[in-house]
Chains A and B, each alone.
Chain A
Amino acid sequence: MGTWTWFHKLASPPHFYRIAGKMIPWYAIPAALLIATGLYGGLVLAPPDYQQGDAYRIIYLHVPSAWLGLLCYTTMATAAAVGLIWRIKLAHALAAATAPIGASFTLLALATGSLWGRPMWGTWWTWDARLTSELILLFLYFGYMALRSAFDDLTRADRASAVLALVGVVNVPIVHYSVTWWNSLHQGSTVIRSGGPAMPPSMLVPLLLSALGFTFLYAALACVRVRGEVLIRERNASWLQELASGR
């Protein structure tokens, strides 16, 4: 039992609400520093590409956004599974809090890719495997959020949407490997590839800093949003009334 007490304590809403609130600056400040450094390194210090010139610099937003789109979905599906199996409401709250963040960054990845695709490929959009699976990822987020809002009862919304999140997780490896499995217009992975990253360190380091910064940004946003979820779920709880009247 001893090893699990911290877990059960964390899973108690008042404790979690307080911890999540304390964690926000610990995620938000590194996020701001890393993203600022990454963007400065990428947009100002890094050399231009020999064929694309400066246009390639959109990757410093595009790749971290796409990374977060996949990270958020994986987090959401894992939290949903934990919520389903162990009946932990906070896990469902985390999944629900993550969905709009993931949807936003997936949309940003699609938009930045489209802006780059028009001059480089010659088209805003095409139905190749990568672009299509990324669009499906966005629709899975939308479907998850729509399904949640279709229920008045939170417990039922949690369970139904968790099943959808689980079913959709199959799309995550498809998005990642779509450029490997099939001929596609979208290029293969630059960072995660056999033979090492296909970029000089002067371009790669800012990209990694930006991606790490975006990851911290997700953590900070998740803390803020999951506190909101806890407030809604616990609105009638005595600890919350004590907290509200105490201030």
Chain B
Amino acid sequence: MTPRRKRLLTVVAILAGVGLATAVAIKAFDNNLSYFYDPSQVASGQAPAGKSFRVGGMVTQGSVARTPGSLEVHFVLTDFAHTVPVSYTGLLPDLFREGQGIIAHGRLENGVFVADEVLAKHDEKYTPPEVAKAMKNKQAAATGTKS
């Protein structure tokens, strides 16, 4: 084996080793690397109970209710299979509106998600791909066809 070939193999081994280690680490972290839970995950109890987490979904049409004279706002997040009612007091981002994908940070209290931060999620279709995917799956499941 020539020295050059040995160095080539060393470089390949470094890349393979680091790649494998990273793949295993990412696999181990799995969902912990995801930024938010969708309403179905919340409904099935996958979201941490008693701790704060993020929930992401679409703001249901007609669900936004503001309390006059304050910054308090109530709305319902949906992935078209399950819903999460949200209550929030504070300023909302520019992109917040009904039908828009948003991500709220907070905790569940008696079935209501009390948010301390609301972020708008923007994407090329103005629907979070995760929500769109979840919607599609749920709709397909509801009509009895598998996608």
Residues of A within 8 A of B (CB): 51-52, 81, 84-87, 119-123, 126, 128-129, 163, 166-167, 169-170, 174, 181-185, 187-188, 190, 193, 198-199
Contact = CB atoms under 8 A, between A and B. Distances in A.
A199 B4 contact: no
Given A51-B95, A183-B128, A188-B123, 18 more contacts: A81-B11, A84-B7, A85-B4, A119-B94, A120-B94, A121-B121, A121-B122, A122-B92, A122-B96, A122-B119, A129-B35, A163-B14, A166-B18, A169-B15, A182-B34, A182-B35, A187-B123, A190-B124
23 contacts: A51-B126, A85-B7, A86-B4, A87-B4, A87-B7, A119-B94, A120-B95, A120-B122, A122-B93, A122-B117, A122-B118, A126-B35, A128-B35, A166-B15, A170-B19, A183-B35, A183-B130, A185-B119, A185-B121, A187-B121, A187-B123, A193-B124, A198-B125
Contacts of B4: 85-87
A193 B132 CA distance: 15
A166 B11 CA distance: 8
B80 interface: no
Interface in B90-115: 91-96, 103
Contacts, number: 93
Given A167-B18, A169-B15, A185 B124 contact: no
B33 interface: yes
Interface in B1-23: 4, 7-8, 10-11, 14-15, 18-19, 22
Instruction: Provide the main secondary structure of the chain A interface.
Output: loop
A113 to B, nearest CB: 12
B129 interface: yes
Nearest to B9: A85
B39 interface: no
A81 B95 CA distance: 45
B129 A121 contact: no
A182 B33 contact: yes
B23 to A, nearest CB: 9
A185 B35 contact: yes
A170 B124 contact: no
B18 A170 contact: yes
B138 to A, nearest CB: 16
A84 B6 CA distance: 11
B73 interface: no
A123 B129 contact: no
Nearest to A168: B18
A85 B124 contact: no
Contacts of B96: 122
